[in-house]
Structure 1
Amino acid sequence: MLPQAPLVASYHTGWKGLTFSHYCHPPHETVEHHLLQHSLAIADPKSCFQVERRLNGKLKPYAHGNGRVDIIPALLSHRTNWDRDVEFSVIAICPTLLHHATQELMQREVELMPQFAIADPVIQQLALALKLEIQTGCLSGRLYGESLGTALAARLVQNYAVSKPEFKANGLPQSQLERVVDYMKANLAQDVSILDLATLTGMSESHFSRSFKQSVGVSPYRYLTQQRVERAKQLLEQRSMAISTIALDCGFANQTHLTKVFRQMTGMTPKAYQKQ
């Protein structure tokens, strides 16, 4: 639909259920089209421009910009034009991801309501986090990006679905929690995905994420990061391995990545921790 390539894109990340693209694009008018995915268009916070959307034959002109969000449901026929050079992000979300977010609560497919230039700081921050993760080389692994996608799906269902399910998070049964934790600890060096963990419990990714957080108080990604840092501490105390090797053995992309996360969680660098 857009003739210019994105400046930032998630095509290489391996994330399941969503794609992210960021554009700086001159004035353009798309052809009439519909997408198989739900799409979110998030305007750059510094931008201000005029948009016209034709939805199912009806014209809707409106002002856009300042980080505001459009939500275009899958299969909705539309075309769009804007009047100046603009910067914006597009997140495409597979309907299956929304279904997985509610399959324990609803039997039917989720139907979203179209939204135009809405202020939603949660979506804006999640989009910014996705963009930053791509720009910094996706050092945090699939679990982080897919967790952001799960959070986006939950946000859409809770706020913009025609029928809104009531999300209730019960903790994981002890046996399932132990199975997930054991898997994490045994695979610290691997690029673990949210699906890998949810499959261990027989839950959807979204239901698993809510239940895990209810059980341990933090998200699966945060818990896995904590375990990686704890393992790095153990290896640093032994003083028998290079820090660069410890970083890879604990699932960090490189020594710089380990140092950044280690400092955030402990207040000191790995080298300082090793010397104390």
Structure 2
Amino acid sequence: MSAGKILAIDYFQPDSTSTFIPRPRIHSSQQAGWKNIQIAHYQLPAIEIPETTNLQHFISVPSWKQPTEVEMVANGKRHLFQHDPNEIGYIEILPAHTSLRVRTNHAADTTHCYLDPIFLTHAAYESANPEQVELKLSLSVTDPLVCQIVLALKTVLETDATNSCFYAESMATALAAHFLRKYSTRKYVLPEYEDGLCRYKLKQALEYMNVHLSENVSLAAISDELGISQYYFCRLFKRSTGMTPHAYLIQQRVERAKQLLKQKEGTMLDIANDCGFANPSHFAKHFRRLIGVSPNQFRKI
């Protein structure tokens, strides 16, 4: 890299941070097949990161082990923050193409989230102002919802990210809607869709999900089948059914599993695979949560 040239980072590419972050990611969604959103979890020492620019919208959710000073130079402007280990819900939001240099004087446990700018722009098509979206630089702000979404995605990676695409797409859609409402440089009014899906569209969505129940079905595939956007579909589906598409999908997988368990045939691995669960552990977790007993206990009833 020539002197004075800022390194542009595509966080959707493998090992994109290896040249300036000294430790590898503890967890990463790179191998999970997610689209539009990625997660990376780091345990970082005191660090000085040279000036870079991000090709995706960048969200950082740090957790400090001791009182820490953080210096950020964003788009040429210096910001100095003092952070305490008891702080909860603090985040940083760097719009795509923000130049940033960072220095910290103590270690941190940090989860990074990267959101595709094109995906965010597509979400804006549901508003009255579908021009290209620009986000506000937001450093050291409190946002429990963003924290909850990012840390929920990290938890998926820590447990089992297999067949997690649908969940990740749902979280990306929720994050995009929140960003448009709260962090856009212009006001976006996303409609509430009080009436839900029409009967034909709802039937089409339910049939598609049930036919593809054993597969790693994606939110994008269902939305494309209906000819509407992901945001539009999620909002209307919940209005029609009272639950999110992801919750409905899990419920139907558990219902199919109950039928297979009553037949007294097949191993737990077979049933998990037939119902679209990542593995027997993933299957058992959701089955117990919805039914109140384990699959083995249910089979004996």
TM range (shorter): over 0.9
Partner of 1:179: 204
Tell me which of 288, 294, 297 is aligned to 1:263.
Answer: 288
Do residues 167 (structure 1) and 187 (structure 2) align? no
**Conserved? CA contact 1:51–1:64, under 8 Å:** yes
Tell me which of 52, 69, 80 is aligned to 2:91.
Answer: 69
Q: How does 1:116-155 map to 2 (within 5 A)?
A: 116-139=139-162, 141-155=164-178
When residues 25 and 34 of structure 1 are mapped into structure 2, their CA distance, relative to the original with a 3 A threshold, is same
**Conserved? CA contact 2:124–2:131, under 8 Å:** no
Q: Which amino acid aligns with 2:246?
A: Y
Tell me which of 92, 107, 115 is aligned to 2:138.
Answer: 115
Supply the distance in 2 between the matched residues of 1:266 and 1:186 (Cα, whole angstroms): 23
Q: Which amino acid aligns with 1:247?
A: A
Do residues 247 (structure 1) and 272 (structure 2) align? yes
CA RMSD of aligned residues (A): 1.6
Partner of 1:21: 40
Q: Percent identity?
A: 35
Secondary structure (helix, strand or coil) at the match of 2:145 reads helix
Q: Which runs of 5+ in 2 are unaligned?
A: 1-19
Secondary structure (helix, strand or coil) at the match of 1:138 reads coil
Partner of 2:7: none
Secondary structure (helix, strand or coil) at the match of 1:253 reads coil
Secondary structure (helix, strand or coil) at the match of 2:243 reads coil
Partner of 1:92: 114
Q: CA deviation at 1:243?
A: 3.1
Q: CA deviation at 1:266?
A: 0.8
**Conserved? CA contact 2:284–2:294, under 8 Å:** yes
Deviation string 1:175-231 (CA, Å, 9 cap, x unpaired) is 111111101111111001111111012122122111111111111110000110111
Partner of 1:51: 70
Supply the distance in 2 between the matched residues of 1:20 and 1:27 (Cα, whole angstroms): 21
**Conserved? CA contact 2:48–2:102, under 8 Å:** yes
When residues 242 and 22 of structure 1 are mapped into structure 2, their CA distance, relative to the original with a 3 A threshold, is closer
Deviation string 1:59-79 (CA, Å, 9 cap, x unpaired) is 111123534101111112221
Q: Which runs of 5+ in 1 are unaligned?
A: none
Q: CA deviation at 1:47?
A: 5.2
Secondary structure (helix, strand or coil) at the match of 2:277 reads coil
Q: Which amino acid aligns with 2:211?
A: A
**Conserved? CA contact 1:169–1:214, under 8 Å:** no
Larger deviation, residues 62-71 vs 265-274: 62-71
Q: Which amino acid aligns with 2:200?
A: S
Supply the distance in 2 between the matched residues of 1:84 and 1:10 (Cα, whole angstroms): 26
Q: CA deviation at 1:248?
A: 1.1
Supply the distance in 1 between the matched residues of 2:136 and 2:288 (Cα, whole angstroms): 43
Larger deviation, residues 60-69 vs 148-157: 60-69
Supply the distance in 2 between the matched residues of 1:40 and 1:132 (Cα, whole angstroms): 16
Q: Which amino acid aligns with 1:82?
A: T
When residues 48 and 218 of structure 1 are mapped into structure 2, their CA distance, relative to the original with a 3 A threshold, is farther
**Conserved? CA contact 2:160–2:278, under 8 Å:** no
Supply the distance in 2 between the matched residues of 1:178 and 1:226 (Cα, whole angstroms): 17
Q: CA deviation at 1:140?
A: 5.0
Tell me which of 229, 251, 270 is aligned to 2:254.
Answer: 229
Q: CA deviation at 1:31?
A: 2.0
**Conserved? CA contact 2:165–2:216, under 8 Å:** yes
Secondary structure (helix, strand or coil) at the match of 1:200 reads helix
